Chain A
Amino acid sequence: MSAVTHEAAVRRGRRRQRQRRLTVVRGVVAGVMTLLFMGPILWMISTAFKVGNQAFSATPTIFFAPTFDNFRSVFVKSQFGSALATSIFTATSSTILALLLGAGIAYPLARRRVRGQQHLAFWILSLRIVPPIVVIIPLFLMLRNVGLTGSVWSLVVIYTYMNLPLTVWLLRGFFADLPVEIEEASFVDGASRLRSFFGITLPLALPGVVATALLAFIFAWNEFLFANILTGANTRTAPVGLTEYVTPVSVEWTNIMAAGTLVVLPVWIGALAAQRYLVRGLTLGAVK
């Protein structure tokens, strides 16, 4: 009897040892992979602190005294700060609008079986498939008719439109996840639908709403094609402002990298903070 348990214990011990070795191997491989994926971004950030000839030497400069000149020139000379401000404004307001309108559609879809509901949801999603290049001229004509061209609001409207399918789909999933019983309980207490939505449903779904907001924000923040063509005087967004350093005369790599770092940083911080919910968001609720 003891032989059997002993053998089992040895087997278990061996397995644990193998397991431990495997953990180390996995850790190392994962570290290397992470370095591969992080490498280019680290390179960008380090280049942002280099001076011209360090950035262009045939043998890469790895150790150097960092300079803030690039950031200074990006902010002072080319007013990249105002481009960042425009980006923050457009991305934030379009996110808020998309959330408001999206929640309006998503909540009933999640709570009620409506005839043709699937068709409606699919139609909304299919809007995302249309390549932006297809609709840019008619969209511009429409915006012109309501007098929005040349202002940042044209981008706000378009980004709201662009993000609405996303928010509808995400929020629908998040709302559907919430047990109906809690809402029902509040009805019994005499609360109205509206109040129960704002008082109960929304707070409970908040993590999901945050993830949705973050995704919508990232898409609006990174968008280039519409911004490039539609922005008016003084309403450049950050990705468009960045292309100013690619002139026919020279490509100002160090400035590009400094501006690129500034563009990436806020969304990265947001993504890290809401990482857990981001997964749900990215998959349109395919994974819980």
Chain B
Amino acid sequence: MAVSTPPRPAAAGPTRFLKRRAGRRRQWPFLLPMLPGLLFLGAMAVYPTVYSLVISFFRWNLNNPLGKQYGGFHNYDILLKDPAFWHSVGVTLRYVVASVVLELGLGLGLALLFFRSFPGDKLLRALLILPMVVAPVVVGLLWRYMLSVQFGVVNWLIGALGFGRVDFLGSPSWALPTLILIDVWQWTPFMFLIMLAALQGIPEDILEAARVDGAKPARIFFDHMLPLLRYPIAVAVALRLIDAFRVYDLIFMTTRGGPIDKTETLSWQIYDAGFKSFDIGYAAAFSWLMLILVVVLTTVFLRLMLRREDLA
């Protein structure tokens, strides 16, 4: 279901060759170094996964002295019937889709800009990637500061341009778009780096041939470049998709799900249920529904984007 590395042409042949020579007997000592890592992963992954799956079928509030009570599909049932759940699915999807699409578009545009060298491009590129290494907690606080209605520099700029002050994080219509723009600010550089590298990987003679044929730049882009970018785009989007679904720190530091319920994403609601209310059975069921959603979406997306030969 997930992202894959294409088989490396350089390695595929000799690997097979090695295997033939190696034979079965030498297989296991060769695999021995995997053991510590796999044991560690297994130990860390299996218990929490099973644990959360099991408790998702229990009615359990941490502070209930009576402890857990088996509830079957009780938690799933009330969740699926709860309009607030579907509301947060909607908010999350809007957030994820809008930010990923904008990031891809902007990142690709920037990559085309930097594709051919110009004086100072190395320096600008180095500065451009800075937002994505900033800790999300810092990002949230920084933007809260800059967007403040009273002393925020953004509102001052807007005022200087002759518009009225906007309560970006406090107004019901602005809050979600603002969060999306913050995400776009932080992660466009990520898309940009990937797209730039992908563009630079396109063999020059393909583009030159098209140019000699008299193709317009737009034609060249759509007919010759874009098809070759399919795989990097697929991987980059899938990675952003997965991470955007988990957005938590940013919301924690800015809107806390508000105003009203305009920025209540799935991960925020899970936090509320699990840590504010201690309904951990309910929160576990919530998490599993979210997990299913992410896995289904990522899979469908990759199925659409990737062809058979992309998967090793």
Seen from chain A, the residues whose Cβ lies within 8 Å of a Cβ on chain B are 23-24, 26-27, 29-31, 33-34, 37-38, 40-41, 43-44, 47, 55-60, 101-105, 107-114, 118, 121-122, 124-135, 137-139, 141-142, 157, 160-161, 164, 168-169, 172-173, 176-181, 184, 193, 218, 221-222, 224-225, 238-239, 242-243, 246, 253, 256-257, 260, 263-264, 267-268, 271-272, 275, 278-280, 282-288
With a CB–CB cut-off of 8 A, which chain B residues contact A263? 134-135, 138
B contact set with A: CB distance below 8 Å: 1-5, 8, 10-11, 14-19, 22, 27, 30-31, 33-38, 40-41, 43-45, 47-49, 51-52, 110, 113-114, 116, 118-121, 124-131, 133-138, 141-143, 145-146, 150-151, 153, 156, 185, 188-190, 193-194, 196-198, 201, 231-232, 234-236, 239, 242, 245-246, 248-249, 252, 267, 270-271, 274-275, 280, 283-284, 287, 290-291, 294-295, 298, 311-312
In the assembled complex, the CB of B11 is this many whole angstroms from the nearest CB of chain A, namely 4
Does the CB pair B2–A56 fall under 8 Å? no
20 intermolecular pairs with C-beta atoms under 8 Å apart = A30-B118, A40-B146, A56-B150, A59-B156, A104-B35, A105-B37, A112-B30, A113-B15, A126-B1, A129-B294, A131-B287, A135-B52, A138-B51, A160-B40, A180-B15, A256-B141, A257-B142, A263-B138, A264-B134, A271-B129
Q: Is the CB of B119 within 8 A of A27?
A: yes
**A264: contacting residue among B18, B36, B135, B284, CB under 8 A:** B135
CB of B254, distance to nearest CB on chain A (Å): 11
Nearest B residue (CB) for A264: B134
Residues of A within 8 A of B194 (CB): 279, 282-283, 286-287
From A26, A38, A169, contact of B118 by CB (8 A): A26
**In the complex, chain A residues whose CB is within 8 Å of the CB of B47:** 138, 142
With contacts A44-B142, A125-B3, A222-B133 known, what are 8 further pairs, Cβ within 8 A? A26-B116, A34-B128, A37-B131, A40-B185, A113-B19, A224-B252, A242-B137, A286-B235
A130-B51 Cα distance, complex, nearest whole Å = 13
A118 vs B153: C-alpha distance in the bound complex, in angstroms? 50
Cα A116 to Cα B304 in complex, Å, equals 24
Say yes or no: A283-B10 contact (C-beta < 8 A), given A37-B131, A129-B295, A256-B141: no
Across-interface contacts of A121 in B (CB, < 8 A): 4
**A169 and B242 alpha carbons, distance in the complex (Å):** 16
A287 close to B197 (CB less than 8 A): yes
Task: Decide yes or no: A176 and B11 within 8 Å by CB, A30-B121, A284-B3 being known contacts.
Answer: yes
Which residue of A124, A128, A133, A193 contacts B271 across the interface (Cβ within 8 Å)? A133
Minimal beta-carbon separation of A101 from chain B (angstroms): 4
Partner of A283, one of B124, B232, B280: B232
In the complex, the answer to whether A30 meets B15 with C-beta atoms within 8 Å is no
CB contact between A279 and one of B51, B114, B141, B197 (< 8 Å): that residue: B197
CB distance from A200 to the nearest CB of B (A): 14
Q: Which residues of B contact A267 (CB under 8 A)?
A: 133
Query: Once the chains bind, are B130 and A285 in contact (CB under 8 Å)?
Result: no
**Interchain CB contact (< 8 A) of B8 among A31, A55, A177, A224:** A177
- Is A176 a contact partner of B8 (Cβ separation < 8 A)? yes
Chain B residues with Cβ below 8 Å from A26 are 113, 116, 118
**B114 shortest CB reach to chain A, Å:** 6
Say yes or no: A168 contacts B37, CB within 8 Å: yes
Contact indicator B137/A126 (Cβ below 8 Å): no
Chain A residues whose CB sits within 8 angstroms of the CB of B284 once the complex forms: 134
- B86 CB, nearest partner CB in chain A, Å: 19
Residues in chain A near residue B130, CB distance under 8 A: 37-38, 41, 264, 268, 271
In the complex where A134-B284, A177-B10 touch, is A218 in contact with B118 (Cβ < 8 A)? no
A180 to B236, CA, bound (A): 29
Please report the C-alpha to C-alpha distance between residue A284 and residue B27 in the assembled complex, in whole angstroms. 26
A108→B33 CA distance, assembly (Å): 8
The answer to whether A180 and B141 have CB atoms under 8 Å apart is no
Q: Is the CB of B188 within 8 A of A260?
A: no
* B142 CB contacts on chain A under 8 angstroms: 40-41, 43-44, 257, 260
The answer to whether B124 and A31 touch across the interface, beta carbons within 8 angstroms, is yes
A34 with B127, Cβ < 8 A, contacts A133-B274, A134-B48, A264-B133 known: yes
